[in-house]
């Protein structure tokens, strides 16, 4: 997500906030528009999921979702009242968690905005980078499992898959083997290399995996040698694309262990939930 988009969404969410008797809240109608939902009925379904999540957590739904009315202009100076819902920060957080973050970048931003205790933009930006990296690592794992399954059906066992993956990585990283890359990045021998790669390098590996999965099926390849060559060729193609943009994958700096990053994000999310539940009990 570009910094300009982050700034725009940050400003919109701050401007949409109301304060009454020391309690901050947002209009569901305003929140719907910010999150990119065009139909109120569709957004109500997301709100209902959020209410269900609150109830499951033992939180009083009425403390965070309050039915209200909102006046809108209908032309020629006339006004009409429509249904609306006042949402606490906790309610907005749950709605964002139950929204469609895969197709709406606004939802992904809101998830972080309401999860962070302080609303400093630089903290939000860093958390979004962390979320993006964890998500990239999970996608890479899924792509490896998918590729492994396809290869197994075509006569390649686990050992063969490991060999194919290793050869692909060696091409992607300019001749550096997995062991050499671990040494280069200061990664312990017992830790997966991918857990310490940058988001860009992780995405490059995933893209090569997806290319191989697609082409193996389309070309109806079978056996370790034809499939291995396909995977090497795809990693070479991805590397060439990066080189054309001035990026050498082997020179990208290492990142913090993605498993530690994930635990940190999970811990922050749990703290948000506990603080919100505590806030609800005080009322």
Is 157 in contact with 224 (CB distance < 8 Å)?
no
Over residues 219-247, the mean pLDDT reads 96
Shortest CA distance to 133 belongs to which of 190, 206, 186? 206
The pLDDT tens digits of the residues spanning 243-258 come to: 999 999 999 999 999 9
Over residues 190-217, the mean pLDDT reads 96
First to last CA, the chain: 37
Distance CA 132, CA 130 (A): 5
Over residues 203-227, the mean pLDDT reads 96
pLDDT of residue 114: 83
Is 27 in contact with 67 (CB distance < 8 Å)?
no
Shortest CA distance to 191 belongs to which of 254, 120, 273? 254
Over residues 110-137, the mean pLDDT reads 77
Distance CA 53, CA 124 (A): 24
Q: Of 275 and 261, which is predicted with more confidence? A: 261
Residues 6+ apart with CB under 8 A from 281: none
Nearest 10 degrees: Cα torsion 30, 42, 99, 95? 50
H runs (alpha helix) in 35-120? 40-56, 89-97, 105-115
Residue 78, pLDDT above cutoff 90: no
Model confidence, pTM: 0.60
Q: Is 94 left (phi over 0), alpha (psi -120 to 50) or beta?
A: alpha
pLDDT of residue 74: 62
SS3 content of the chain, % helix, strand, coil (to 5): 65, 10, 25
Over residues 190-203, the mean pLDDT reads 95
Q: Of 73 and 187, which is predicted with more confidence? A: 187
Mean pLDDT over the full length of the chain: 88
Over residues 150-178, the mean pLDDT reads 95
236-270: burial string, b at 16+ Cβ within 10 Å, e else: eebbeebeeeeeebeebebbeebeebbeebeebee
pLDDT of residue 282: 55
Residues 6+ apart with CB under 8 A from 47: 28, 65, 85, 95
pLDDT of residue 227: 96
Over residues 45-56, the mean pLDDT reads 92
Q: Where along the chain do its domains lie? A: 3-115, 130-263
The pLDDT tens digits of the residues spanning 117-128 come to: 434 555 777 888
DSSP state of 149: H
pLDDT of residue 174: 96
Which sign does the torsion angle of CA 94, 268, 142, 169 carry? positive
Over residues 177-189, the mean pLDDT reads 93
pLDDT of residue 44: 94
Residue 280, pLDDT above cutoff 60: no
pLDDT of residue 279: 59
């Amino acid at each position: 997500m570009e910094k300009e988009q982050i700034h725009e969404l940050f400003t919109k969410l701050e401007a949409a906030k109301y304060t009454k008797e020391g309690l901050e809240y947002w209009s569901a109608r305003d929140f719907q528009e910010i999150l990119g939902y065009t139909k109120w009925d569709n957004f109500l379904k997301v709100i209902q999921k959020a209410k269900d999540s609150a109830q499951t957590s033992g939180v009083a739904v009425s403390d965070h979702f309050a039915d209200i009315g909102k006046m809108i202009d209908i032309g020629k100076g006339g006004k009409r009242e429509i249904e609306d819902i006042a949402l606490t920060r906790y309610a907005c957080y749950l709605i964002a968690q139950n929204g469609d973050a895969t197709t709406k970048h606004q939802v992904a931003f809101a998830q972080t905005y309401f999860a962070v205790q302080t609303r400093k933009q630089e903290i939000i930006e860093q958390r979004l980078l962390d979320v993006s990296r964890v998500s990239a690592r999970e996608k890479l794992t899924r792509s490896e499992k998918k590729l492994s399954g396809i290869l197994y059906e075509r006569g390649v066992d686990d050992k063969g898959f490991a060999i194919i993956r290793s050869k692909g990585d060696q091409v992607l990283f300019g001749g550096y083997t997995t062991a050499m890359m671990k040494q280069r990045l200061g990664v312990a021998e017992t830790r997966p290399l991918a857990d310490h790669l940058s988001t860009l390098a992780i995405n490059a590996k995933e893209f090569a995996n997806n290319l191989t999965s697609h082409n193996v099926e389309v070309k109806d390849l079978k056996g370790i040698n034809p499939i291995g060559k396909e995977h090497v060729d795809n990693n070479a193609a991805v590397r060439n694309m990066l080189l054309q943009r001035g990026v050498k994958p082997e020179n990208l700096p290492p990142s913090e262990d993605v498993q530690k990053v994930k635990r940190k994000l999970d811990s922050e999310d749990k703290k948000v939930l506990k603080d919100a539940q505590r806030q609800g009990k005080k009322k």
